[in-house]
Amino acid sequence: MRPADSGSGPGERGVALLIALVAIVVIGGLITGTFFAGRVELGSGRNALWSAQAAEASEGGLTYAFANWPVSWNEYPVGSDSLQPVGFPIAVDPTIRYFQSVRRMQGGMYLVTARGEKVDRAGRVVATRLLARLGKLVSPWIDVRAAVTSRGTTRIGGNATIDGRNSSPSGWPVCSGTDLAGIRTNEDIIVNGSPEVYGNPPMVEHDPEVVDSVFDMPFDVIQPLATIKLAAGTYNSMAPSVAGTPPNCNQADLMNWGEPDRGETSLAPCYDYFPIIHFAGDAHLTGGRGQGILLVDGDLQMQGGFEFTGIVLVRGKVITTANSSKVTGAILAGNVDLGDVTSFGGTPVVAYSKCAVDLAVKAAARGVPLSQRGWAQVMR
C-alpha cells in the first residue's frame, strides 16, 4: 500500500528557500535603513549641539561685552567699528570661540554683535551663529551744584580759595557752562582767616537737599568700576607714565592717574586717560597730579602741591593743610562720621570746571543693554 503524499516535494522546498531569501533581504533592508536613520539622527543631533554651542558662545559674547564694558568704547565716534583681531578670538574652550564687533550709533546708542563659532579638532568651523544687541551709554548721576558739596559743618580758613565760577583747567580749551555755588552744605559754614569764596551764590548753608543719597548713590555705583584700587595710606608723586614704542599711556602703572596738564612737558598719550581711583580707607596725598574720579572710603588729606582734575568723592571728611593743593572740577564730602568737619586750611584751591566734571563722568559711563529684547539673530 503507498504512503500518503506529504506535500514536501522539490517544488515546495524551492518556494520555502525563496521565502527565506526574501525575508533575509527584507530584514537586511530594515537593518540598513535603521542604521542609516541612526546615522542621520546622530548627525542631526550633533549639528544641533554644535549650533547650540555656537549660539551660546555668541550670547555669552554679548553678555560679556556689556558686563565688562571697556571705557575706550565711550570714545568711539558715531559709525565707528571696533573688531577683535581675526587672529585673536575670545576662546570659551579649545573648540568654542566668539568674535565681538561694536558700532557707535546716533544718540549714544551702540550695536554690539558677537559671532560664535564651533570648530573641530582640525580647526575647521562646523557651526556659527551671529547675534546682535542694542545698548545705550549711561552715565552715573552725580549731583554737582557747587565747587564743594559737604554734608555737615564746613570750615574754611587760611588763604583757601573756593571758586564756583565755571573755569577751564590750565591749558584746556575754553569751557562753557553755568557758574555754580562755591560751597553748598546742609549745616553751617565757618570762616576763619582770609579765605576767598566765589560763586553764584558764594555759599549755600542749610540746604535740605544735601542728604546722604547725594554722596552714597554715586559712590556705590562708581566704586565697582574702579580701574585703580589702592589700600589706605600715604601716597605721593603720582604722575603720568608711558610704555612701549611708540609710547602709549601706561595704564598698568598704579601711580599713573592720567595727564591733566596740557603744557609742553606734559605726556600727551595720557590726555584721554581718566581712571577711577578707589582708596579702601583713609588717603593722605602729598604731591603728584592726576585726573578722573577719586573715591575715598574714609577721610582724604591733601597737601604738598597735589593737583587733581575731575571729581573727588569722599565718604568721610576732606582736610587740606598748610601746603597748597588744587582740585579743578568738584569735591563732594560725605562726612559720614558724627562730628566730622570738612576743613580747607592753608592755601588750597578748589575751582569748579564743567568740562572736567563732564569728562570724569564720561569715563564712568557704561553700556547698558536695552530691555525690550535680549538679542536678535543676524542673518548673513
Q: What is the 8-class DSSP label of residue 372?
A: S
Cα distances from 276 to residues 103, 223, 279, 363, in angstroms, run 25, 8, 10, 8
Alpha carbon distance 240, 26 (integer Å) = 83
326 close to 351: Cβ distance less than 8 angstroms: yes
Lowest mean pLDDT among 28-42, 130-144, 266-280: 28-42
Average pLDDT of the chain to the nearest whole number = 85
Residues whose CB falls within 8 Å of the CB of residue 270, separated by 6 or more in sequence, listed in order: 240, 241, 242, 249, 256, 258, 259
128 close to 54: Cβ distance less than 8 angstroms: yes
Cα distances from 26 to residues 36, 170, 262, 368, in angstroms, run 15, 93, 89, 63
Residue 164 lies in a domain: yes
Span 82-93, pLDDT tens digits: 765 555 567 777
Omega cis (within 30) before 201: yes
* Ordered alpha helix ranges (H), the chain: 10-67, 212-222, 354-363
Cα distances from 124 to residues 94, 95, 117, 128, 227, in angstroms, run 12, 10, 10, 11, 38
- Percentages helix, strand, coil for the chain, rounded to the nearest 5? 25, 35, 40
Torsion of CA 302, 303, 307, 311, to 10 degrees: 10
pTM: predicted TM-score of the whole model, two decimal places: 0.76
pLDDT at 338: 38
Looking at the fold, whether 196 and 124 belong to one and the same domain comes out as: no
Per-residue pLDDT for 8 more than 70?
A: no
The owner of cell 601716597 is 235
3-state secondary structure (DSSP) of residue 53: helix
Residue 329 lies in a domain: yes
In degrees and rounded to multiples of 5, residue 85 shows phi and psi of: -55, 140
118 close to 44: Cβ distance less than 8 angstroms: no
Higher pLDDT, 17 or 279: 279
pLDDT at 282: 95
Per-residue pLDDT for 374 more than 60?
A: no
Per-residue pLDDT for 10 more than 80?
A: no
Tally of structural domains, the chain:
2
- 95: domain range? 71-139+367-377
Residue 254 lies in a domain: yes
Looking at the fold, whether 235 and 160 belong to one and the same domain comes out as: yes
Residue 58 lies in a domain: no
Looking at the fold, whether 119 and 213 belong to one and the same domain comes out as: no
Residue 23 lies in a domain: no
Residue 40 lies in a domain: no
Looking at the fold, whether 97 and 244 belong to one and the same domain comes out as: no
User: How many contiguous H segments (helices) and E segments (strands) does the chain have?
Assistant: 3, 24
Q: Which residue(s) pair with 314 in the sheet? A: 296, 333
Alpha carbon distance 224, 232 (integer Å) = 17
For 136, counting Cβ atoms within 10 Å of its Cβ (0-12 exposed, 13-18 middle, 19+ buried), the class is middle
Per-residue pLDDT for 1 more than 90?
A: no
Span 11-60, pLDDT tens digits: 666 777 778 788 888 888 888 877 777 777 776 777 888 888 888 888 88
Span 165-186, pLDDT tens digits: 999 998 898 888 999 999 999 9
Structure-block grid coordinates of residue 275? 581712571
Percent of all residues in the chain with a pLDDT value above 70, rounded to a whole number: 90
pLDDT at 337: 46
**Total length of the chain:** 380
DSSP string, 145-185: -EEEEESS-EEE-TT-EEE-S----TTSPP------EEEEE
Per-residue pLDDT for 271 more than 50?
A: yes
Residue 9 lies in a domain: no
pLDDT at 353: 96
Span 285-335, pLDDT tens digits: 998 999 999 999 999 999 888 999 999 999 999 988 767 789 999 999 987
- For residues 126-149, give the mean pLDDT: 91
Lowest mean pLDDT among 106-110, 233-237, 288-292: 106-110
pLDDT at 233: 94
Span 195-212, pLDDT tens digits: 899 999 999 999 999 999
Residue 171 lies in a domain: yes
